[in-house]
Structure 1
Amino acid sequence: MAFAHGILIAPEHIRIMQNNRTHVQINADSQLFIRGEWTTLNAEDTALLQRYSQGLRKFVPEIVSIAVDGVELGLSGIEAMFTGIGSEAQQAEWRELVNETTFQWMSRFVRTNEHFYLAPQSLNELDYFLHGELKPQLDNLARHTVGAVWGALRDALRHSDNNFERTDNQEWQSVGALVNKINSGLDAKAVELEEKSALFCQRMQALDKIELQLHQRVPALLRYDVVAQKD
């Protein structure tokens, strides 16, 4: 199962989007706008639209939250390691790396207060996002930033009265421990997704049936097949 269009969930409306443009908007779960034009609905059509809208409201935020929590978990662990360590220039460089990674992933999953955005993708792609893309990216980011943090800390301590030294082996053991902690948290999110995958598929199949009925009653929606079954 897959979402063929981007979906933005807000308290007052739902937007179905393509290339950052809104093509369909549902206001208050009962008013339908297609390409900016209000579509008149009878009582049965409105009831069907409400079922469809409420289904998206229950489902999309849950998917987005699993992905966003995974990203925040990994990045917060990295950021905590370099807070207050190194020069201002080094901290700016590390934060830029974290922000770049955050922006890259948050273009696909956005959660801001009561607003949720899910980019077009399938449930399999979400699983790959957690396993195949996010974990390697965070692993590389952790090794780059945390390794630099330990280097800055080691240099500072070398010039202190204690003349403290850390070996490379000790340094990378510390980095490895953080990476393992981050991966453990991401694995928990992946397990959560796997445990819910059957339920998610059932919900999407139910939404697909409602959407099909809605398309039959409002033909102008046919070109916006949001919930789709992948071959």
Structure 2
Amino acid sequence: MAFRYGVLISPEHIRVMQNNRTYVQINHNQQLFVKGEWLELDEEEQRLLQLYSEGLRKFVPEIVSLAVDGVEVGLSSIEAMLAGVGNKSQQAEWRALIRETTFQFLSRFVRTGDHFYLAPQSLNELDNFLNRELKPQLNTLARHTVGAVWGALRDALRQSDSNFERAEAQDWQSVNQLMEKITLGMDEKIVELEAKSALFCQRMRELDHIESKLQQRIPLLAEFDVVVDKPASN
């Protein structure tokens, strides 16, 4: 299952978007606008629109929150690991680098108060985002950053510890343990996503069914197929 268009959810309206342009807007789960034109609905169309709006309002924030929380868990893990290491300038530089690395991912999942935005994508892409893209990048970045920290401390260690080789081996063993801790929170989010994936797909199929009924009654909506059944090969 996939979203062909971006969906923005706010308390007042739902917007179906592409390239920052709104094509469909639903106000207060009752008023329907297509390409800026207000459509007067009969009783059955109003009922379907209400069901469709309520489904999007429940479903989209769940996906966005799961993804955003996963990112935040990864960031907080790395930042907690680096707290107190190096001077303030170095710490600020590392934090900026970490957040810059994840910004491109967060642009696909936006949560600001009670506003939620989900960019066009499939559920498989969401799983890949958490499991195959974000977690390895955070892990690699953390290794690089910690490696730089230990490199900066080597001279001091050599001067203070005559048995430096043994000390350095112990330090790197601790770093590897920290790497495992970093991914723990992400793994929990990925397991949560996998546990919810069947339910997510079922909800999306229900939304697709309601959307199809709306499109049959309102031909203007047929051009903007938001929820689609995407072949597994894609």
TM-score between the two structures when normalised by the length of structure 2: 0.89
Q: Give the Å deviation of 1:221.
A: 0.9
Amino acid at match of 1:108: R
Deviation at 1:112, TM superposition (A): 1.5
Equivalent residues of 1:67, 1:130 under 8 A apart: yes
Tell me the CA shift for residue 42 of structure 1: 2.0
Task: State the distance in 2 between where 1:171 and 1:13 align.
Answer: 54
Aligned-pair distance for 1:116?
1.2
Instruction: Tell me, in whole angstroms, the C-alpha distance in 2 between the residues paired with 1:155 and 1:110.
Output: 41
* 1:110-149 equivalence runs, <5 A: 110-149=110-149
Letter in 1 for 2:94: W
1:62 lines up with 2:62 in the alignment: yes
Q: Hey, what's the Cα distance between the residues in 2 that align with 1:103 and 1:7?
A: 19
Q: Report the Cα offset of residue 172 of structure 1.
A: 2.4
Letter paired with 1:217 = R
Q: 1:207, 1:111 → 2: CA distance?
A: 22
Show the counterpart of 2:98. 98
Q: Structure 2, unaligned stretches of length 5 or more?
A: none
Q: Give the aligned CA root-mean-square deviation in angstroms.
A: 2.1
**Counterpart position of 1:49:** 49
How many residue pairs align between the two structures?
A: 228
Shift of 1:147: 2.6
User: Which structure 2 residues correspond to residues 1-231 of structure 1 after superposition, within 5 A?
Assistant: 1-152=1-152, 154=153, 163=160, 167-231=167-231
**Cα distance between partner residues in 1 of 2:75 and 2:29:** 35
Secondary structure of 1:29's aligned partner: coil
Partner of 1:41, secondary structure, is coil
- In 2, the alpha carbon distance for the partners of 1:12 and 1:169 equals 58
> How many Å separate the matches in 1 of 2:67 and 2:127?
9
| 3-state SS of paired residue (1:167) | helix
* Inter-partner Cα distance in structure 2 for 1:157 and 1:27: 64
Q: CA–CA distance in 1 between the matches of 2:22 and 2:155?
A: 53
Partner SS state of residue 223, structure 2? coil
| Equivalent-residue separation in structure 1 for 2:195 and 2:81 (angstroms) | 31
For residues 210 and 169 of structure 1, the distance between their equivalents in structure 2, rounded to whole angstroms, comes to 60
C-alpha deviation, 1:109, in angstroms: 1.0
**Which residues of structure 1 form unaligned runs of 5+?**
none
Q: Secondary structure at the match of 2:14?
A: strand
Question: Which string of whole-angstrom CA distances, capped at 9 and with x for unpartnered residues, describes residues 130-185 of structure 1?
Answer: 11111111111111223333445x369659xx936683323322322222112222
The amino acid of 2:210's aligned partner reads: I
Letter in 1 for 2:80: A
TM-score (norm 1): 0.90
